[in-house]
Chains A and B, each alone.
Chain A
Amino acid sequence: MGWSAYILVGFFSASLFFLAGAGALYWAHRNGQLNNLEKGARSIFDEDEPLGEITDSFPPKRKAAPPKS
């Protein structure tokens, strides 16, 4: 490929990158994703894994070898 072809590939891919980003930001704005962010931060919690509860720790030490089944 000649220089012009590389520049074309570069320009096309850079435009794709930029337009996709700009499009996503525009969508986020239109969709209301940027409003009420504090509520959004809590969206990962629910009744199964609620706010205020630690959900991971080291497994307990075993008192005896578990029965084989």
Chain B
Amino acid sequence: MNTDPSLLQSLSPKETTGFDVRAKLREVDASMRAPAMLFLVSAVLWLLAGTVFALIAAIKATNPEFLSAQAWLTFGRVRTAHLNAMIYGWGNNVIFALAPWIMGRLSRARIRHTSILMVAGVFWNLAVTIGIIGILKGDMIAVEWLEMPAYVTPLVALSYALVGVWVIIAFRWRQTEHVYVSQWYLLAAFFWLPWLYTVAQIMLVFEPATGVVQSLTNWWFAHNVLGLWLTPVALATAYYLIPKVLGRPIHSYYLSVIGFWSLALFYNWAGVHHLIGGPVPAWLISAGTVASVMMVIPVIVVAVNHHLTVVGLHKQGWASPTIRFVVFGAINYTVVSLFGSAMALRHVNEVTHFTHFTVGHAHHGVYAFFTMIMFGGVYYMLPRLLAREWPNAFLIRVHWWMCAMGIVLMVVALQVGGWIQGLQMNALSEEGTPVYTFLQTVENTKPWLWARSISGLMLLIGHLAFAVNVGWILFSPKTEDQVTQPTLLTEAE
């Protein structure tokens, strides 16, 4: 390849020749360097901001008077700011750093016209910042996971579209014959999110549906952001990195294809399970429950593939920061999904609904699964983009132990506490009167909520260690003797 293609050539569906040289991995890495840095640094800053919002909200659960004098620091707003900072600030930024990079590597195509990705990055972060300020200021929309005020919608949509188009263009110009399973997941995710977002915006923000349809659309959207956006991207990353790092192909590639298509078929139905017990037609809830249980198929498939690929290479995996984080995430994908299928059963849901069990489940999915895999992806990507080693192994260990133990503590505390809370709320005496007053059930959750706050503090320490290491690697000198090597990190100890 002598010259770079023009923007029109890249976008043209008819353009076929002239730029069809198979890129080396390090050329793909180099092409993605600047935009990935922008997205990653923004992601880390949002992660820290989101953690602080989370801690404030967590402390308020046990000490409601904490920081309650200002309207913008009240629980409803801080908790919502936490959710949006994590999903749209941390989650999407880290996806925008990792997904085009993985797509480019698998397609053997350099990421083109990265200045447009940079513009998208600036717009995206501007949109999230305005959105979060809007939430804190009191402008939020009362639709969970879609709380950012309507005035940021155009900016969100535009900047997302710019990133999405670039992922698809990388795929369009692929120089490989086979479409790897991660590419399927990424393409699907980048097609599904705008689809979800458009329908949700039409039906919830611009022409809001009322009553039952509103709740249905709300939970269809919110659950699908997890199921059809965060999940496929995290699975794509795991499907790429586990075999890549260990130098061993996926255990059963056949199964991975079934896993992808069954996820595509079942996951988008599952969101209704949030409304079990609500005033929703029973057949709809049954359909959601059936789909939730059918999700066992793709989950078991992914579990077989991810876990059996690692078997026999545990020692080498433990010596790799990437594998530690990604395998932790993969194990939790199995556990959280099976829990999710169980929670969609009406009799289980009777206990868990409206309790902290659900909060624990949400963090199990978005943090223990999605976020941990994203951390693993960053540990693999950054040294290759910057041609540098991670400067400090101790900080990686602090990050790993604090986050792994912190999230386990959080999930156990919220789910055990939430289960007890559910049993106490449902408990009836022989005369049919409640055994516990509502206030008693609330008081009894306090020790568990304290444990949650402590786990949040552990996560904050882990995130700070990660942020310091990311800042450090950005400004450290190149690892000179290894710059030309494709693999920058040293052999296992």
Contact = CB atoms under 8 A, between A and B. Distances in A.
Interface string B238-264: 001001111111100110010001001
A66 B473 CA distance: 13
B105 to A, nearest CB: 8
A40 B486 CA distance: 22
Interface in B226-284: 240, 243-250, 253-254, 257, 261, 264-265, 268
Interface string A43-66: 111101111111111111100001
B396 interface: yes
Nearest to A36: B178
Contact of A17 (B195, B322, B391): B195
Interface string B15-28: 00000000011100
Interface string A29-44: 0000110011111111
A43 B180 contact: yes
Given A6-B203, A16-B195, A54 B176 contact: no
A13 B199 contact: yes
Interface residues of A, number: 41
A46 to B, nearest CB: 7
B320 A56 contact: yes
B207 interface: yes
A9 B199 CA distance: 8
B431 interface: no
With most chain B CB atoms within 10 A of its CB, the pick from A20, A40, A43, A58 is A58
B176 A59 contact: no
A49 B489 CA distance: 12
A25 B321 CA distance: 36
A56 B380 contact: yes
A42 to B, nearest CB: 5
Given A6-B203, A38-B253, A56 B247 contact: no
B477 interface: yes
B493 A13 contact: no
Nearest to B22: A46
A40 B489 contact: no
Contact of A48 (B26, B209, B240, B490): B26
Nearest to B105: A44
B203 A44 contact: no
A41 B243 contact: yes
Contacts of B397: 58
Given A9-B202, A55-B245, A20 B390 contact: no
B64 to A, nearest CB: 39
Contacts of A54: 245-247, 313, 316, 319-320, 491-492
Nearest to B239: A44
Interface residues of B, number: 62
Nearest to B324: A58
Interface string B40-66: 000000000000000000000000000
Given A13-B199, A21-B264, A52 B380 contact: no
A69 interface: yes
A6 B213 CA distance: 9
B379 interface: yes
Nearest to B326: A56
Given A13-B195, A13-B199, A69-B477, A56 B379 contact: yes
A33 B178 contact: yes
Contact of B247 (A9, A24, A25, A50): A50
With most chain B CB atoms within 10 A of its CB, the pick from A17, A28, A55 is A55
Given A48-B25, A59-B489, A42 B249 contact: yes
A39 B178 contact: yes
Nearest to A51: B247
Interface string B112-131: 00000000000000000000
Contacts of B320: 54, 56-58
B487 interface: yes
B389 interface: yes
Contacts of A33: 178-179
A10 B284 CA distance: 15
B486 A58 contact: no
A66 B388 CA distance: 13
Interface string B389-413: 1111100110000000000000000
29 contacts: A5-B207, A6-B213, A17-B192, A20-B191, A24-B188, A25-B261, A33-B178, A37-B253, A37-B254, A38-B253, A40-B253, A42-B249, A43-B177, A46-B25, A49-B487, A51-B249, A53-B247, A53-B487, A54-B313, A54-B492, A55-B244, A55-B486, A55-B489, A56-B322, A57-B493, A58-B319, A58-B320, A58-B390, A59-B392
